Amino acid sequence: MGARGAPSRRRQAGRRPRYLPTGSFPFLLLLLLLCIQLGGGQKKKENLLTEKVEQLMEWSSRRSIFRMNGDKFRKFIKAPPRNYSMIVMFTALQPQRQCSVCRQANEEYQILANSWRYSSAFCNKLFFSMVDYDEGTDVFQQLNMNSAPTFMHFPPKGRPKRADTFDLQRIGFAAEQLAKWIADRTDVHIRVFRPPNYSGTIALALLVSLVGGLLYLRRNNLEFIYNKTGWAMVSLCIVFAMTSGQMWNHIRGPPYAHKNPHNGQVSYIHGSSQAQFVAESHIILVLNAAITMGMVLLNEAATSKGDVGKRRIICLVGLGLVVFFFSFLLSIFRSKYHGYPYSDLDFE
């Protein structure tokens, strides 16, 4: 028994412990250092992101829109990490820039930002900022931007796409339209709350008081109420206001005109058939009124029984008004609807 067990003990005594290859220790050490470095880098990114969000929240607690220069723009908007969306208005509000549209757009932008800041849904996923041309010229150059105002959305990840630039020329810059665009880009829905505006109520009260006072003073003679000419003038004013696009202006809030920042040229007629300026609607109103006046004179010349020579003059004046101003109206229509084949007099 002892003899048979001796070789077995010798074999056990002859076995050596199995160790890993000597060259694997540097590999494991390198892997360990790499994991530590990656973990430290991730922790550093998280700390940097937390610091950026805390800074933005602090600014938002003071003002719903915070201004940015080139350094802040690159740190909080362009540079990662970022887990929030940023809406930026690029503008030129300094008086020497003479950008009235920028001031109007800024008022709507302020209403939108305040609506978000003081809403119950406010969180650190969406912020509003502004870059003025005189404070961030390098930002305008970096983005190849040559017009103001411009609204852009910078998403949490990746670069802004074409749809991340708000189509101000076509839609206008009303706060409600901006809120709809933001909802499409960020899934954040903002309910716009406008500050109370009593100008309409005051105007209505003054109008009612004026009409009531007039009726009281003329209470013994109310024949003017049955004056057909007066009611015709009131009706024409309403028709001119509606057909010139005043209701569209009230809903969309377009700028009054557009000034080219390069050559300073002011455009009163929008080049697209999908939009218009406020000045454009005023021009259309005047043209429609002049055409209507021409038609009234033609009707007067045809139906009156006065002197033939006087009637001829009235007819020529009325015909001239219709032809001239209707041709002008057609030229505006052709400039907006490119390819429209018809015209009277060529004003282009």
Do 162 and 104 fall into the same domain? Answer: yes
Do 74 and 156 fall into the same domain? Answer: yes
Do 172 and 268 fall into the same domain? Answer: no
Per-residue pLDDT of the chain (348 residues; tens, 9 = 90+): 444 545 554 444 455 555 545 556 666 666 666 666 555 556 777 888 889 999 999 998 899 999 999 999 999 998 888 899 999 999 999 888 878 888 889 999 999 999 999 998 899 999 999 999 999 999 999 998 888 899 999 999 888 999 999 988 888 888 999 999 999 999 999 999 988 777 778 988 998 998 888 878 877 777 777 788 888 888 888 888 888 888 888 777 777 887 776 677 888 888 777 778 888 889 999 999 999 999 999 988 888 887 888 888 999 999 999 999 998 888 888 888 777 666 655 555
Domain-ending residue, one of 160, 186, 212: 186
Do 227 and 178 fall into the same domain? Answer: no
Domain-ending residue, one of 158, 186, 214: 186
Do 325 and 244 fall into the same domain? Answer: yes
Q: Exposure of 154 by Cβ count < 10 A (0-12 exposed, 13-18 middle, 19+ buried)?
A: buried
70: in domain: yes
Do 235 and 177 fall into the same domain? Answer: no
pLDDT tens figures, 319-343: 999 999 998 888 888 888 777 666 6
Q: Specify the pairing of strand 266-267 against strand 126-132.
A: unpaired
208: in domain: no
- Residue 136's φ and ψ, nearest 5 degrees, are -145, 55
Q: Domain of 95: which CATH number?
A: 3.40.30.10
**d(C-alpha 225, C-alpha 339), whole Å:** 48
Do 108 and 163 fall into the same domain? Answer: yes
Domain-ending residue, one of 186, 212, 247: 186
253: in domain: yes
Give the 3-state secondary structure of residue 259.
strand
Residue with tokens 């003081």: 118
72: in domain: yes
156: in domain: yes
Domain count across the chain: 2
Give the structural domain span for 165: 43-186
- Residue 193's φ and ψ, nearest 5 degrees, are -115, 115
Do 72 and 159 fall into the same domain? Answer: yes
343: in domain: no
CB of 172 within 8 A of CB of 253?
yes
Nearest to 283 by CA among 189, 199, 347, 196: 347
Count of beta carbons in the 10 Å neighbourhood of residue 190:
22
196: in domain: no
**d(C-alpha 40, C-alpha 42), whole Å:** 5
Q: Exposure of 78 by Cβ count < 10 A (0-12 exposed, 13-18 middle, 19+ buried)?
A: middle
Do 243 and 172 fall into the same domain? Answer: no
Q: E-strand spans in the chain?
A: 65-67, 85-91, 126-132, 150-154, 258-259, 266-267
Do 169 and 47 fall into the same domain? Answer: yes
For the chain, what percent of residues have pLDDT higher than 70? 84
**pTM beyond 0.75, yes or no:** no
347: in domain: no
